[in-house]
Homo-oligomer: A and B are copies of this chain.
Amino acid sequence: MSQGARDRRGEILAIAARLFARKGYRGTSMRDIGQEAGVLGGSLYHHIRSKDALFVELHNAALDAAEARIVAAVSKLDDPWARLEAACVAMLEIQLAPDSLTTPMMNDFREVPADVRAQLVARRDRFEKPFRDLVAALPLPYGADRSVYRNLLLAQLNSVADWYRPDGRLSPTEIGRQVALLVKGAAAS
């Protein structure tokens, strides 16, 4: 594959990622993607196999990149709470970056065909493993349900992209710290 073709494919992936993030899987047609790329919808099939495969590829690439950055951010630290905070900050810095291909918002699991959904769920479960480990290492009080705790933590992180305003008072980093602070306080009470 030539350099130009590889770049072209990357452009198309970036465009598709942005549209999927903004309008969802079903709300984004191949013709929409083609229009932003300056070609007709059918022409995209020279670069991709199907809409499903495109979506799965983007989803996996986003989670790969996010997971690598989170693991790296955490590895330098020892204290369990510091590690959790670093993971929250890293995740939000990735998820709220304005232009990256990694911007997911791909929690559209209900919008997607069943066989695609199975792949997304499997990849997401692997993605959540670092968080399971982080939460497992926390000194939570007796009676706290670590499974519920982890789900509530991830729900907070995933929600931020829905209400975050780039021109707001708080940066992604600061919001990440607030999330960590919130779930940390719970353990201290």
Contact = CB atoms under 8 A, between A and B. Distances in A.
Interface stretch (A9-17, A20-28, A34-42, A62-70): A20-28
User: Chain A: interface residue count, which band?
Assistant: 35 or more
Q: Copy number of this protein in the oligomer?
A: 2
A4 interface: no
B178 A145 contact: yes
B188 A110 contact: no
B189 A175 contact: no
A110 B27 contact: yes
A177 to B, nearest CB: 10
A61 interface: no
A182 B175 CA distance: 17
A43 to B, nearest CB: 25
A181 B185 CA distance: 10
A30 interface: no
Contact of A182 (B26, B160, B170, B183): B183
A23 B186 contact: no
